[in-house]
Structure 1
Amino acid sequence: MSNEIDILDEDDILDEDNGEENAAEAEAEESAESPAVFEDVVADVTQIYLNDIGNNALLTPQEELALARRVVAGEFEARQKMIEHNLRLVVNIAKHYINRGLALLDLIEEGNIGLMHALEKFDPERGFRFSTYATWWIRQSIERAIMNQSRTIRLPVHVIKELNVYLRASRHLESQIGREPSVEEIAHLVGKPVEDVRKVLNLNERMASLDAPLDIDPMLSIGESIPDEQHEEPELQLHNSQLEMFVHDWLSQLNEKQRLVIERRYGLNGYEICTLEELAASLNLTRERVRQIQIEGLEQLRRILRRKGISRDFLL
């Protein structure tokens, strides 16, 4: 069977003899297989991509910090290298969203957009790994794409698959020619009649895109303005992680009894919050003695914070 589809025009069909029915059936069969053939190619491309990025070694914290600083300084080569060495992170996150309406390659593509967005906003001087920061942006980008795609659920499954084939073909052509491709160009790539492709692509029209800019803030899209209830914003996530690390360091500077009392009174480092009475019974001390140890520990922590110049606002 040829890889190219021969399309019969109306005059040819009218002039066919008794074999016209078989020819039409053959054409229909081959046309029906076209999306499947295209998807097989996509699957091959996906595997090649996964194999390729597997050759990128993970960066050490020192290498990452040096690269991130060069990115902040505006070095394009450093930016590209930082992206390449974090593509596996995108794939690992994207795999959790399989069977949610988008193919793995599409999920990876959306995740890569989030990765690049994260790199633009990342501050290496905060002292945290880039992957910690980028994870939120990658998830947000993927989930927004899934939300955007979910409107097609009401369409028949075969139409959804066909639409996805055309959209992937459109993105592929755009990356090659540097502009939005015409319907005719998409139809030629996938080997389908122009009108068939046009009808399916018309289903992709939407009243409002999540990527459309808001009237009140052209720099902010509708999708970005929707709160993400499932994940902390990266700035808050980093602040909380940083605070947890500092608290652990400060507590380590107390003596053993002070540290234990503070941890258990305030539910730190995995402990449940305890009353003075519960702590007194557990430590075989009087309630008053536990209270004194708590006061001593808190005063010691205040001195540590003053020495480090840390304000109360940092802790909120």
Structure 2
Amino acid sequence: MEDIKNTVPEMTETDNEVLSIYLREINRIPLISHEEEYELALKAKNGDKAAREKLLNANLRFVVSVAKKFRGQGLPLSDLINEGNIGLITALDKFEPEKGYHFISYAVWWIRQSIMKALSEKGRAVRLPLNRTNELMQIQKAQKTIMHERETSDPSVDDIAEMTGLDKTLVSDLLTISSEMVSFDSPVRKGEESDSTFGDFIEDEADGPEMVFMDSSLKKDVRSLLSVLSDKEKDIITRRFGLDGEKPMSLKEIGDVYGLTKERIRQIEKRALERLRVVSEEKDISAYNIA
């Protein structure tokens, strides 16, 4: 993360002030047009360090937007952002600008994967495989929904299993692991006269207007591209990359849904992606540029 660290303060400290400074700094970084993004990506691919740094910095706000969605899972926001930035860098290393996609449309998967991998490896006393981390997140989301809708503070395993579609035993086991994590209601300093809890130091989770705009633009681009596919192709691509907000599925998992082999699903995916590549080159998709 050398390029990014040259521009903004390091976030290895837990000090809220350091994080606030970082967020203020990246909000001052100007966004770029699709045309400028393409030019910078080409230069970066050819070894231009200045272009690489500018392209990375222009997308740091989006990383924060993604990182906020994973709060309360075992890592502080600063660590989530750092891991997301690593995913952003990985995405740029693999990005092929000549294919015509928006960089952030490509990078979002790598950002999410980097964060989820860190959560499975660093955020818990018991290391979880990545798929189990995803399932635990589903469980915790269901807990919050049930608590809100039914006005209860203790959702049952049965209710959570029904809402998530997960096995009851698995739900129970993952809840046990989850209970090892610090509660937002836990006092910051035990034994001291203070009403402060860990939850008091969590920022407002609502995204700013520009992040909402960027998210909606990304979804609009994806919907526009997917409209050229058959229903089966569209569903396979959606499941494969988690475009419906759910976790990405493996080729085997999708094959089980359709009763097809993993290799057959791979062939359909390859054909669909090639069609999307051609369409993306023909369309002039609006950039994520915020006035």
TM-score normalised according to structure 1 size: 0.40
Calculate the TM-score normalised by the size of structure 2. Answer: 0.43
Structure having the larger proportion of residues in helix: 1
Q: Which has the higher contact order (CA 8 A, sep 6+)?
A: 2
In our comparison, the structure showing a higher alpha carbon Rg is 1
